[in-house]
Amino acid sequence: MEEELRFEDDQRDQPGPNPGPYDLLDQRAADILNFPNMLNFGPCRRTLGWPFQRSVRLMLLPPLPYPIAGFTYCSTPLTPTTSPADGADVAAGQAPLPPGHSFLLSGEVSSEGTAEAMYIHKIGKRWSFKNLIVSSLTPSVPIFLSSMKYSGSATTSRFTYTTDKHIFLLNNLSAITTNWALGAELLYSVAEAKPSLSVGLRYLKREGSTSDATTEFTIAAARKKTKRCSVKRCRKTELLPIQCAKCSHQYCLGHRLPSDHNCDVVRRETMTAAHMLRRSTNNARGASSSGGLLSFLTGKA
């Protein structure tokens, strides 16, 4: 969610040469659970008195495949307004954030019965806590996520836990010099009992462009259990990918809607019977080859 990133990683809160979070360096560690970018309409801001301000946003996504509605409530202004009538909001948005507590509350619900709620609480300029829950009407256990973030003078650390497969994630990104930053991330899944480790190095030019390079290695030959988005031009990895209800393929949050990934069901409906037969035959051959290879590796007939 764009509002979440602006609130939690506000540059006005970054003291000294803080390089920002490791999540932005290695996208494979980001988006364990997150909201999609919202289409906003009717933003309403109201001054309650300095230093407390309120931002309320409503959003409505197109009904493909399911209508989604939600809201965002923030105790501080997310984006300074440009209207001359809102000069107080502009001044408040450009001023440094006051010390103390601030929070962001967001939620969304879809017609299929899926509901998500998120709460971020910031204490001062260094600590922030995030809690998120995802639930649905289908017989399933709700998924919880909690994270704690620390932003120091030259380092940013984050600890995350989610009940899905009981994943623990710890990452850190520290500034070595003015231009260079070094980070690392450790992930452990209790359900799979396999840890993994990744390291990253970033060079930041003075004019603002970035060049990121990451190298990933494993502990005890155990890799991260991430899945790539089925869109070839994206190939983003997700710990919790979204499965399309129509084509059953897995996608990242940015391509979860059928209109975003050109759903395969639409293409299959226009295919001829010969193409469908050829496709099913190739899939059957691939499955039999995989089964033979698995039997050879495991030694089981």
Residue linked to tokens 């059957």: 284
What spatial distance separates the first Cα and last Cα of the chain, rounded to whole Å? Answer: 49
pLDDT recorded at residue 272 = 40
For residue 3, the Cα-to-chain-centroid distance in whole angstroms is 12
pLDDT recorded at residue 161 = 92
pLDDT recorded at residue 291 = 40
Ranges of residues in the chain with a pLDDT under 70 are 1-16, 22-67, 76-100, 139, 204-228, 232-241, 245-246, 253-254, 259, 263-301
Please, what are the domains in the chain? 22-77+98-203 (2.40.160.10), 227-275 (4.10.1110.10)
The rounded distance, in Å, linking the Cα atoms of 37 and 2 is 6
Q: What is the average pLDDT score of the chain?
A: 63
pLDDT recorded at residue 199 = 82
pLDDT recorded at residue 146 = 92
What would you report as the CA-atom Rg of the chain, rounded to the nearest whole angstrom?
Answer: 22
Q: Give residue-wise pLDDT tens across range 209-255.
A: 444 444 433 333 333 445 667 776 665 665 556 777 667 777 776 67
